[in-house]
Amino acid sequence: MRSTLLLVVPAAVFGAALALLLAAPDAVQGEAPMRALADCAGATVLGLAALPRLHERLTPPWRLLAALGGLWTAMEFAVLACEAAQVVGVPVSGLGAGDFGTYLIRVTGGQIGIAILTGTLVVTGYCALAYRRPERAAAEPVLVFAAVAVVLRPITGHMSQQPLGSVLGAVHALAAAGWFGMLLALALVLRTRGEWAVVLPRYSSWALPAAATVAVTGICNGLVRVKGLAPLVDTGYGRILLAKTVLMAALLLLGWWWRRTWVPQASEHRLDAEASLTRAIAEVVVMALVFGLAAALAVTA
């Protein structure tokens, strides 16, 4: 059953592919699917590292975190290679080491990519060491470096050119990563009805303000960028934004329904662990679809 969480991968890729169709004939850069997967991996690392903040008996799964950190690093490297190839004007397979090095050193996007890779490598290395000596490990360093890596692109993207745009972008990215990543983390580590009964209400109390933050900052970012209602249907960016908004509204409605049904049932031990896991998987798959749209939105002209 837990292997069904792998549906997050095709969901994120499908979200990016859907954005490509919605954007036509406007351009969407080719790294969107890989960026969506990188964003999902980063959010999962952040969520797993934040588990002790939901309950003191939840400890970070250091081995899993190290593996996911390595995967995140590989995906961010792939995103960086795609960006470099886009700038040089060649396919990724035709990108030479010299051109790639020039992009990393002289282009702002490359320098940001190096900073992100540094953060993901630190996370991976720390988690690998923590797996061997868990008694000396703490989640805080992972949270700090993962959070910085998650927000580096949003704070330097489209919105950075607007007043308070970088702040809105950072808050939006962190709230979305926490909302998605922590629920995915619960699906990965919780095993019993009793664990869901204790932890799910705490996550729900945190998820409500996070979801509201994602919605408000996303609306502000979108309205500033499109500057009106007509571009929502007349431009590729607007159509992707509209699709993302519709799915976000569906997620908010689902979250409201879960708070009225799933959370009380789980907290009162009226729901077994498999039923809670099924609900969590359903929500994170839809969230991954939104991540795919969001990744494409970030690289849409």
User: Looking at residues 166-188, what average pLDDT do you find?
Assistant: 93
CB of 63 closer than 8 Å to CB of 203: no
Which CATH number, 3.30.310, 3.90.1720, 1.20.1630, 1.10.3470, labels domain 2-294?
1.20.1630
Quickly state the pLDDT bin for 111 (edges 50, 70, 90).
very high
Residues near 179 by Cβ (< 8 Å), separated by ≥ 6? Answer: 207, 210, 211, 214, 287
For 224-254, what is each residue's pLDDT tens digit? 777 777 778 888 888 999 999 999 999 999 9
User: Looking at residues 198-218, what average pLDDT do you find?
Assistant: 92
- What average pLDDT does the chain have? 90
User: From CA 203, how far away is CA 253, in angstroms rounded?
Assistant: 17
Strand partners, 300: 28
pTM for this one? Answer: 0.93
Q: Is the pLDDT of residue 136 over 90?
A: no
Q: Which of 14, 2, 7, 6 is nearest to 291 (CA)?
A: 14
Q: Is the pLDDT of residue 223 over 80?
A: no
Q: Which of 45-54, 116-125, 128-137, 151-160 has the lowest mean pLDDT?
A: 151-160
For 246-298, what is each residue's pLDDT tens digit? 999 999 999 999 999 999 999 999 999 999 999 999 999 999 999 999 998 88
- Please tell me the predicted confidence (pLDDT) of residue 160: 61
CB of 280 closer than 8 Å to CB of 183: yes
